[in-house]
Chain A
Amino acid sequence: EAAVTQSPRSKVAVTGGKVTLSCHQTNNHDYMYWYRQDTGHGLRLIHYSYVADSTEKGDIPDGYKASRPSQENFSLILELASLSQTAVYFCASSDRGRDTGQLYFGEGSKLTVL
């Protein structure tokens, strides 16, 4: 079974503070993604990466940075957290190419910004 683990699973942050969400995968997958989900809504892509030391912007990158120091690890960084960034964040990994299409998601990280 593919494994993607996220930490922390839950975090409360103050407005203006720095938040780092970490993701680790043991699938040997090239692609990793960070999605944001707002209550009862869809998944929106923030950043993704298809190779270590390189990241790409997704649909909603503003206010977020990403880091891929190795194939296994992918972090999402909020330098100045804001109230509007309260959401559940999902990390996912996928094998190279479009034909599999199977994203393996982590359990999610619930972020509350006060």
Chain B
Amino acid sequence: KNEVEQSPQNLTAQEGEFITINCSYSVGISALHWLQQHPGGGIVSLFMLSSGKKKHGRLIATINIQEKHSSLHITASHPRDSAVYICAVRGIQGAQKLVFGQGTRLTINP
């Protein structure tokens, strides 16, 4: 079992729909990152969370440390949101690397 599990692996939706991508992890963490990668492109860091909730534009990320679970929500989804969304965690006590989930491939159709 991977230390970081994302669901769903693939998600197709219509423009305007509310999107939720989930991430569960099995280790203690100091921070959780949500990353976005467009096809053939580099990676953009969307959020870094250690507790609670963060919002940026139409994107919202939440984390529940007790349940070892995080969600990324996209409101009023748009075709330009089509990308792979990756959850990555950094362990506790000065862990030196990120552990990545397998990614969720999101396609928003017009």
**A, B from the same assembly:** no
Q: What is B's interface to A at a CB cutoff of 8 Å? A: none
Q: What is A's interface to B at a CB cutoff of 8 Å? A: none
